[in-house]
Amino acid sequence: MTIRIVTDSTSDLPSALARELDITIVPVYVSLRGRSYRDGIDISLDEIYQKMIDGGTPVTTSQPSPADFAEAYQRVMKEADQIVSISLTSKLSGVYNSALQGREMVGGKGRIEVIDSASISMGMGLIAVAAARKAQAGASLPSILAVSREAVEHVHIWGVFDTLKYVLRSGRLGRATALIGNLLNVKPIITMKSGELYPSGIVRNRAKGIDRLIDNFKGFLDVEEVGIVHSTTPEEAQTLKSRLSAVLDSRRIHISRLGPALGAHGGPGTLVLALRERLASAENPIMVKSKRLINMPSFHAPRLNIALSE
């Protein structure tokens, strides 16, 4: 029984890791000046961010269609018996529904299971990785689904924005709030709770932002795997990896580029840290409780309405 994992490009998975784990990625669409491109296929991330920097070109994104998912499922099912499809949080996009509708188009109910990751970027990517590692180990479908759903509850993600102007341009944040943030030159930090993005704090500069990401990482005792995602600052991503490698095997720390789904709102200079806590093993089905050294921030601030267009 062969089981494969499918996800979409908002997972920001490194291409080499996706190939290693046989993860199929369905691209989202990127629109620049009225022209549509498939993320990572028809246009590179370097081109997207350079256009944002040079000319302030507005970037919008839209979800894959049900037909896109159906085509991917059909292609994968030529080599696999069953599929687990890990989707972008349904609170921010209709990607999850597209994945479900794609399953119906190929009559894959029972053979294709769709899971809402309740996350984005490498938060979602780490869930797909956990599922794929289980699949490569020869686990059964129920076991892979259990690991995937457990991973949803044990993934945490934070992002540091270099500026608020791209969020302002997208209309996802109140103009007064964004203008005040830019005037004070603060760097906002966002996180996710229950599938939605929320403000997590502010820092005065980039260095403090990286320190905050590391402090958040150190709040967990049982970190299994980490994703570091940058839009335009690979040297910062490497610095962050080096600092985390002092306490976690560097082979479990993955660096990737931030795709347009979040990059369109965060813009150049966005830096993201995602982590997945250690999950319960197949041999020991008792749920592993997360061990945290610090209290995570409360979420009384309004959520950030960042979404892919329909």
Six token digits for residue 108: 């894959």
pLDDT exceeds cutoff 50 at 44:
yes
Distance CA 112, CA 69 (A): 11
Q: Which residues pair with 80 in a beta bridge?
A: none
Number of other residues whose CB lies within 10 A of the CB of residue 182: 13
Q: Which residues pair with 36 in a beta bridge?
A: 31
> 162: pLDDT confidence band, cut at 50, 70 and 90?
confident
**DSSP conformation class of 126:** H
In contact, 161 and 266? CB cutoff 8 Å:
yes
In contact, 169 and 58? CB cutoff 8 Å:
yes
Between residues 197 and 117, the one the model is more confident about: 117
Between residues 169 and 51, the one the model is more confident about: 51
Distance CA 72, CA 25 (A): 8
* Helix (H) / strand (E) containing 223: strand 223-230
What are the pLDDT digits (tens) for 55-101?
667 788 899 999 999 999 999 999 999 999 999 999 989 999 999 99
Six token digits for residue 297: 């921030």
* Triad 94, 100, 103: Cα angle to 5°: 140
Predicted TM-score (pTM) of this structure? 0.88
How big, in percent rounded to 5, are the helix, strand and coil portions of the chain?
A: 40, 25, 35
pLDDT exceeds cutoff 70 at 187:
yes
Predicted confidence at residue 94, as pLDDT, reads: 94
Predicted confidence at residue 240, as pLDDT, reads: 97
Domains and CATH numbers, the chain: 3-153 (3.40.50.10170), 155-277 (3.30.1180.10)
Distance CA 158, CA 201 (A): 10
Distance CA 44, CA 259 (A): 10
Predicted confidence at residue 297, as pLDDT, reads: 44
pLDDT exceeds cutoff 80 at 177:
no
pLDDT exceeds cutoff 70 at 285:
no
